[in-house]
Every structure is written in C-alpha cells, then in structure tokens.
Chains A and B, each alone.
Chain A
Amino acid sequence: MDFDVAIITGALPYLWKGFLYTVELTAVSAAGGLFFGTLLALARLSSLKPLQTVAAAYVNLMRSIPLVLVIFWFFFLVPLILQSVTGAERPPQVGAERTAIITFILFEAAYFCEIMRAGIQSIPRGQVWSAYALGLNYNQTMRLVILPQAFRNMIPVLLTQIIILFQDTSLVYVISATDFVGAAAKVAQRDSKLVEMYLFVAVVYFVLCYSLSFAVKHLQRKIAVIR
C-alpha cells in the first residue's frame, strides 16, 4: 500500500486549528476542574454532614459512569439548563465545542477532587492546629497554609492527570466537535485516507504525551529530593 504524505501536509492548517481547540479544551478544563475539584475536596472534608454527602455522591457518580456517557448527558442537558436559566422560548444553540468545555470541567472536577483530598489528607494535622493557634480562621488556614502545601505535594499527580485529560479530550469526537482527532477524522473520511490521518494523529499524541510524562517523572524526582 502507498502512504500519501501530501494529504497530511495539505491538511495541516485544518489539523492545527483542531489541535489548538484540543489544547484550549485541556487548559480550560484543567483550570476549571482544579478549581471546582478543590472546592469539592473541601466539601468532602468539611465537618458539615450534608455537604460531605452531596460532594461524595457527586464524585462517586461521575467516577462510576463512562466519560462518553457523561459527554452525551451534557450535550443534551446543557441547552435545557440554559433555557430554564435564561427563560428563553427554545433551547439555545450552544454548540458541541462549548458544551464539551462545560462537560470536561464538571467531569474532571470529580477526579481532581480525589487528588486534592489525598493531598490535603497528607498534610500533618499539626499544621491545622498551629494555624488555628495563630488565630487564622478556616478560610485563611486553607488558603494560606493547607492548600499551598497540598498543591505542591500533588503536583506530579495533578500533571499526570492533566496528561490523561489531554488524551481524554479526544472523546469529544462522539459529539462531532472538531478537536485534533475530530479534524483528522473529518479529513480522513472526506478523502478516504484513514491510514495516513490516524497514524499521524497517533504519532503526534505519542510524541507529546511521552515527552510530557517524561518531564513529569523528572520533576517528581526533583521534588522528591527537596523534601
């Protein structure tokens, strides 16, 4: 069989656009997921029982169903929610790309929550007591003492999760969003060049994820030496 390189170089501008969306989706979901995940972790560790229960239920629900199913849920749910919030007459057109961002933020929050919870729980209790003894309130204790340390301890795990997220964002393919894989699939099907396009995508992902996880491993060793 012949391998048609020209089809890849010809499609590069289009693929690049898809790739940028993949990066944007990863970055926004990582930031949003980390923010809400931290709040969820604080809720799971709070002394208020109802808050604990609700947060735990949310996290367990998200972690027990497939991402593809979650993507489908939100694809149909988000327009309806926006409609009831804005009071519009018909569900607004949100588009697959924006729905995907909302989906991934809410889905990743559950995973980041578990990482942050482990990070917070790895901090010795004495830190909390000393912070309270110094007169800090709950907010200040968390913001100035506990969370910075928890973040630092969990950096390698958080980065690994972000690499997994980077790979998982390819699943927006199922709602026809044009991410890197989506763009490649569209070209592949238009020109029936599936072999070239999918191999190219696989190589790009491999090189990126391999280098990133190598860097994370390096960083982990460095952090391990400091402590």
Chain B
Amino acid sequence: MNYHWNWGVFFQETPEGGTFYWEILLSGLGWTLAVSVVAWLIAMIAGSIVGTLRTTQNPWLTAFGHCWVELFRNIPLLVQMFLWYFVIPEFVPPLKRWMVSTEPVYAQFISAVLCLGLFTSARIAEQVRAGIQSLPRGQRLASMALGLTPVQTYRHVLLPEAFRIIIPPLTSETMNLIKNSSIALTIGLAELTFRARELGEYTFSFFEAFTAATLVYIIISMSANRVMAVVERRVAVPGLITAGGK
C-alpha cells in the first residue's frame, strides 16, 4: 500500500504553536476519561435504583422501571446525544440560557455525561434486576422471616449478593461506556477520537493518529478488565461456580 508513515507527527508543534500534537491527544484522553467516570457514577446510581425498583412488589414502581429501561434502550445513542444537546434545552429555558452563556465545552460535557449516564443506567438496571432475580427465593423469604423490612432486605441481603454476582456483565458495560463516550464527538466534545481525527485533518497523518487512539483504547479496556478481574476474585460469593470451585 502506498502510504508514507510519519510517526514523528506526534512531536510536531500544532499550527497555533506552543503545544505538540501528542499533548492534543492527551487532552482528548482526559475528556474521554472525565466523561466516562462521571457518566459511570450516574449510570451506577440510577441503574441500581431502577433495577431494584423493577424487582419490588409495587406495580407502579415496576412499571416505572420498565418504561425507563425501554425508553433509553430503544433510541440510538447518537439520537439521544442530539436530544440532550439540541432538543431538551429548548424546553427548559434556564438551561438554554446557561448553555448559551457558558463555554461550549461545559455544555457539551454536561449533555454528554447525562446522555451516556442515563443510557448506560438502563443497561445496568437490567443487570441489577437479573442479579437480584437470580438469587434463590429463600433469601428474600428468610430475611422477611427474620423481621427485616423490605428496605433492610434489599440493603443487607439482596443487593450485596446481587452486585457480587453481576460484576462480569458490569465490567463489559463499563467498557461499552468508555467506547460509547466517543459518540460525544458528534456534539463537538473534544475527546480522544475527536482529537485523533483532528490530528489527521491537520497533518494528513490519519493512520498514525488512529493507531495511537486505537492503542490507547486497547490499553484502557485491558486495564479496566484487569481491575475488575481482581475485584471479582476478591468479592466472589463462596459456593457458586464462579467462585472457582473452592
């Protein structure tokens, strides 16, 4: 193939001067991580609440949980991103005023974080629900027999067990979240993929830029995998097959 590789491009200065291209990529990585971390927190909190609600005996709460999950799961993430950035502010005048007056990057960050956080919360809710429902019925009944209230049953018995069981699917949802954060580039947030494309457009070294971004994503997902594997081993529920037959 006739392509002239130029790996020195990362150490060239940008047209504005003063910064090098590798620093541009690094700042992109910073935004990717920032969006991912905040969205992950939102997703875990909202997802745990909604997933738990879906397993309660109250029909209104389960219906609410059902609507939540179906709403966020059946609209493409890209379209949800547009809704959060372009559409919802039109219906909330104070938000709109703030978005116009502030630096664009803050408006993009908030939209991206809400969008990814709630989108992922629906998927985490499904995992939490599956985790709770996979527990033997006796767990709930035994807690009730011990006189625990429903809230105490969830707090001390069901949720601690369910979370330990669902760590593997939560790991893959976390990786999906990090990968999905690249969709924030469609509303102009300068995260890693955005910066890689920008670097390509400025220097015509597209493949060097994409290779660098690809390697960074691989490193992120491999390290997330390692961390979660350690956590999984530490908290494995004794007696289950996943605990390694000990």
A-chain residues with CB within 8 Å of residue B186 when the two chains form the complex: 173-174
Q: Which residues of B contact A66 (CB under 8 A)?
A: 179-183, 193, 217
Q: Give the size of the chain B interface in residues (CB under 8 angstroms).
A: 40
Contact A69 B90 (CB under 8 A): no
Let me know if A72 and B217 touch, CB within 8 A. no
Chain B's interface: helix, strand, loop or mixed, by majority?
Answer: helix
Contact yes or no, A81 B1, CB < 8 A: yes
A80 and B3 contact, CB distance less than 8 A = yes
- Pair B1/A65 contact, Cβ less than 8 Å: no
Q: Which of A135-143, A147-155, A194-202 contacts B (4 or more CB under 8 A)?
A: A194-202
A80 to B181, CA, bound (A): 28
A226 to B204 CA separation, bound complex (whole angstroms): 57
Contacts of B75 in A (CB 8 A): 167, 202, 205-206, 209
A168 at the interface (CB under 8 A from B): yes
Asked if B221 and A210 sit within 8 Å, CB to CB, the answer is no
Residues of A within 8 A of B73 (CB): 209, 213
Q: Is the CB of B1 within 8 A of A80?
A: yes
Task: Please tell me which stretch of B143-151, B206-214, B229-237 contacts chain A, meaning at least 4 of its Cβ atoms lie within 8 angstroms of it.
Answer: B206-214
Question: Out of A61, A76, A181, which one reaches B218, CB within 8 Å?
Answer: A61
**Sorted from nearest, which 9 A-B pairs have the closest CB atoms?**
A209-B74, A66-B182, A167-B76, A66-B179, A170-B76, A64-B221, A194-B86, A68-B182, A84-B1
* 29 A-B residue pairs with CB within 8 Å: A1-B90, A64-B217, A64-B221, A64-B222, A65-B179, A65-B217, A66-B179, A66-B217, A67-B179, A69-B210, A69-B217, A72-B193, A72-B196, A73-B214, A76-B210, A77-B207, A81-B1, A84-B1, A170-B76, A170-B79, A173-B186, A181-B78, A194-B87, A194-B90, A195-B86, A195-B87, A201-B79, A205-B79, A209-B74
